[in-house]
């Protein structure tokens, strides 16, 4: 299968949750039509609840790990989606015609900090929010492709 012409890069602070979920959803829902990757502006570690929440939804996180922008192959990036304010503020400039999007998605750990018993629910809510956003983005990307095809 040839390399998809679209490459969406998702950025968040630590690449521990939101951007990882978005990358996994894009790969899962696009069926290979879109190349997806993710990174953190200050990479940490992949949160175990991220893996659990995504696997509950039937989306594999195999091979996922937190990574930063340094050393990342950004060849062909066509869209950059920041999913938090820190990533939006520190998002680097990309050469060429790269579309930038910002999805202000709350950190699930911050949402549930005072209510530890709700952590699982917080991750599930963020997972579902991101799924819906990725689905809408795919609809728009597919429509734009159709509009530009001969």
Summarize pLDDT for 65-113 with one digit per residue, the tens: 999 988 787 778 999 999 998 888 888 878 788 999 999 999 888 776 6
CB 115 within 8 A of CB 96: no
**Which run of H or E residues covers position 81?**
strand 79-82
Q: Return the CATH number at 58.
A: 3.40.50.2300
CA angle 57, 59, 62 (to 5 degrees): 140
Q: What pLDDT was estimated at residue 96?
A: 80
Q: What pLDDT was estimated at residue 85?
A: 86
Q: Is residue 42 part of a domain?
A: yes
Quick one: tokens of 58?
């039937």
Q: What pLDDT was estimated at residue 150?
A: 54
**Which run of H or E residues covers position 71?**
none
Q: Is residue 37 part of a domain?
A: yes
CB 62 within 8 A of CB 82: no
Q: Is residue 103 part of a domain?
A: yes
**Which run of H or E residues covers position 42?**
none
First to last CA, the chain: 21
Torsion over CA: 136, 75, 86, 42 (sign)? positive
Q: Is residue 99 part of a domain?
A: yes
Rounded-to-integer distance, Cα 113 and Cα 107, Å: 10
Task: Return the number of other C-beta atoms located less than 10 Å from residue 113's C-beta.
Answer: 12
Q: Indicate whether 3 pLDDT > 60.
A: no
Q: What pLDDT was estimated at residue 72?
A: 81
Mean pLDDT, residues 4-31:
94
Q: Considering its fold, how many domains does the chain have in total?
A: 1
Q: Is residue 133 part of a domain?
A: yes
Summarize pLDDT for 18-77 with one digit per residue, the tens: 999 999 999 999 999 999 999 999 999 999 999 999 999 999 999 999 999 887 877 789
Residue with tokens 């956003």: 133
- Catalytically active residues, by annotation: 12, 84, 91
Summarize pLDDT for 110-137 with one digit per residue, the tens: 776 666 677 788 899 999 999 999 999 9
Q: What pLDDT was estimated at residue 9?
A: 96
**What's the chain's length in residues?**
150
Q: What pLDDT was estimated at residue 110?
A: 79
Q: Is residue 1 part of a domain?
A: no
Q: What pLDDT was estimated at residue 38?
A: 96
- Tell me the whole-structure pTM to 2 decimals: 0.90
């Amino acid at each position: 299968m040839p390399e998809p012409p679209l490459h969406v890069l998702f950025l968040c602070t630590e690449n521990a949750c939101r951007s990882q979920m978005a990358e996994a959803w894009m790969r899962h829902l696009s069926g290979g039509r879109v190349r997806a990757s993710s990174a953190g502006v200050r990479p940490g570690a992949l949160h175990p609840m991220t893996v659990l929440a995504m696997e509950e939804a039937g989306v594999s996180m195999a091979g996922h790990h937190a990574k930063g922008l340094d050393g990342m192959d950004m060849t062909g990036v066509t869209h950059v989606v920041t999913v938090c304010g820190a990533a939006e503020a520190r998002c680097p400039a990309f050469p060429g015609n790269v579309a930038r999007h910002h999805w202000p998605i709350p950190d699930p750990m911050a949402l549930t900090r005072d209510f530890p018993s709700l952590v699982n629910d917080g991750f599930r809510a963020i997972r579902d929010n991101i799924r819906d956003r990725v689905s809408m983005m795919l609809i728009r990307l597919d429509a734009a492709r159709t509009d530009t095809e001969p």
